[in-house]
A and B are shown apart, each in its own frame.
Chain A
Amino acid sequence: MASDELAIRIRDLVVGFGGPHVVIDHLSLDIRKGEILGLVGASGGGKSVLMRSLIGLLPKRSGAIEFPQAANGGGIRRGVLFQQGALFSALNARQNVQFPLREAARLSPALLDEVANAKLQMVGLSAADGDKFPSELSGGMTKRVALARALALDPPLLFLDEPTSGLDPIAAGEFDTLIKTLQATLGFTVFMITHDLNSLAAICNRVAALADGRIAALGPLPSVLESDHPWVRAYFHGARAQMLHLEA
């Protein structure tokens, strides 16, 4: 699916919070249109900071973030799946999915319900689940509703923050498959933060390893595994990782 066209072009990006210390240090990265890029990095190493600055939630200190697909002047449409789902607790699942649609366009109430039900079914839920409130949803269902909400407007770009964290291995595997299937169907580009080595192996076209505020290794998983960078070696060849390789 991945083409040579770019979805995001990051050049010399610097992000920091007050003081001389920077979290993202002159980072450059190209994200290709239609690929699933997995970002790994140490806890507290700036993965979320990078993603938040790409989304525009954090200001950058210098450098450039470009979205070549974006219409002139306007920002790019993107969906974001937050780690805890970030569903609006005052709205039920269907209303959560309808919210972006309601804001962006004027759909008739009947069509709004139909489209929201369709989205819920696309993420593997039933239309009846739409009546449930976020407090009544299990962890896996919360992630699915949040994914349906992120995809409500068919964005060309999707950001996922640890989509499989907090899910059991079976649910995580199903969620990976879901992302892969939807990506094949709708053709969006995915930028995902993950610690799940299975996800990296199963669905990511390329893997980027973030260390010391820069991209330490980039490429398909096998080539990243060959990297000489000490942190990347430690990450992928630690005991926990070895266990996964043994099983595989």
Chain B
Amino acid sequence: MTDTPTLQAAAGDPRVLAPGGAWTVANVEVLERLCRDAQQQTPRAIDLSGVTAIDTVGAWLFEKLARHGAGPVEASFVGVPESYSGLLREVRELNRQTPAIGRARSFAKWFDEHARSLTDDVASFLDMLGALGLALLRTLRHPTSFRFIPTVYQLGRVGWQAIPIMALITFLIGAIIAQQGIFHFRKFGADSYVVDLVAILVLREIGVLIVAIMVAGRSGSAYTAELGSMKMREEVDALVTMGVDPISVLVLPRVAALVIALPILTFLGSMAALYGGGLVAWLYGGMSPVIFISRLREAVSVNSFEVGMWKAPFMALVIGVVAACEGFRVKGSAESLGLQTTSSVVKSIFLVIVLDGLFAIFFAAIGM
């Protein structure tokens, strides 16, 4: 079956091609070369009696040779082995209309698509925010309709179970900031200002930001994947047909849990970061805990703490809404689920940072 394929003009008639050997996909490299070499020829007929095996690829190559040949009239097949006659009859009909395969895309089209997807993103974010607001209003009017148990369950998942990892990471961040502060401030003899550095940075910015980014990666992605697979399995459609609003049942408890959990996690995270900073100041910088705490009292007002805490629920809302939006955009395929989950995490982290910047301007303006 591995007979080397050949392609030559027939002995008697130069306008008859007489291929030989096995014209199968296994020999395709040789076959393509043979056909390229034979491109100049315009055969009148192709004599297949010398061919030992043909599959679809081989038959298609014969057909291409035949169509190429003889100008207006296509070459005919002669000497077709009985067992391949059906296949060769079949390929005569194939690929008669060549469709335009849209591969190349212009820059304008690319730009247009991306601009559209950006406006789509904004629209669907606002859409989800509005739907969530409506669901909240409905729930406020009929408080008994609030899904209390799912909310508590979600709170356990995104809040309680997240505490250890959040505390560990913020502890390490606090410790690193303190170490860097001590290392550089020591040159100016300003070691004790490390307390100001750690406290203000952690309470105002880093604490809430790190926790929000962690939550977006940990819980936002989970929300998107869950809602997306529910969408794929038509569970969301099933809810709608039962007259149940999927936003109230699926999204509201999840977002509510995030809005409750994120401030708590931020508080715990900030405390862990201060603890880490204090520990490093003591062990690495030689500042006793008593001095650290008294410096802390002088360095921070309750303002700094409030600034950090005020931001937390808004960031939670952004993460939750983005996660729900992306989840409901999942289409039928597994790839789409992965794509939306990635995009959920990227977008919510981006928006969290943008929101943080807006809050910085806002708090500066009102003098907090």
Instruction: Give me the interface of A with B, judged by CB distance under 8 Å.
Output: 71, 89-90, 101, 104-108, 111, 113-115, 117-119, 121-122, 126-128, 130-131, 133-136, 151, 153-154, 184-187
Contact = CB atoms under 8 A, between A and B. Distances in A.
Contacts of A115: 56-57, 60
Interface of B: 1, 24-26, 28-29, 32, 55-57, 60-61, 64, 83, 86-87, 89-91, 93-95, 97-99, 101-102, 331-336
A134 B232 CA distance: 13
A161 B337 CA distance: 27
Given A117-B95, A122-B94, A127-B95, A135 B24 contact: no
B293 to A, nearest CB: 56
21 contacts: A89-B334, A89-B335, A90-B335, A105-B28, A107-B28, A107-B32, A114-B60, A115-B56, A118-B56, A122-B94, A128-B99, A131-B102, A133-B333, A134-B332, A135-B332, A136-B332, A154-B24, A154-B56, A185-B87, A186-B56, A187-B83
A213 to B, nearest CB: 34
Given A127-B98, A154-B56, A111 B25 contact: no
Contacts of A127: 95, 97-99
A117 to B, nearest CB: 6
Contacts of A105: 25-26, 28-29, 57
Contact of A89 (B25, B57, B93, B332): B332
A132 to B, nearest CB: 12
B28 A184 contact: no
A118 B94 contact: yes
B4 to A, nearest CB: 15
Nearest to B29: A106
Contacts of B86: 184-187
Nearest to B28: A105
Given A115-B56, A115-B57, A118-B95, A185 B335 contact: no
A111 B61 CA distance: 9
Contacts of A151: 56
A90 B61 CA distance: 29
Contacts of B332: 89, 134-136
A108 B29 CA distance: 8
Contacts of A134: 332-333
Contacts of B91: 118
Given A106-B29, A118-B60, A153-B25, A135 B95 contact: no
Nearest to B331: A135
A179 B151 CA distance: 53
A89 B333 contact: yes
A185 B24 CA distance: 16
Contacts of B99: 117, 126-128
A185 B333 CA distance: 34
A154 B333 contact: no
Contact of A111 (B32, B97, B336): B32
Given A118-B91, A121-B95, A154-B55, A106 B335 contact: no
Contacts of B55: 153-154
Contact of B94 (A89, A117, A186): A117
B338 to A, nearest CB: 9
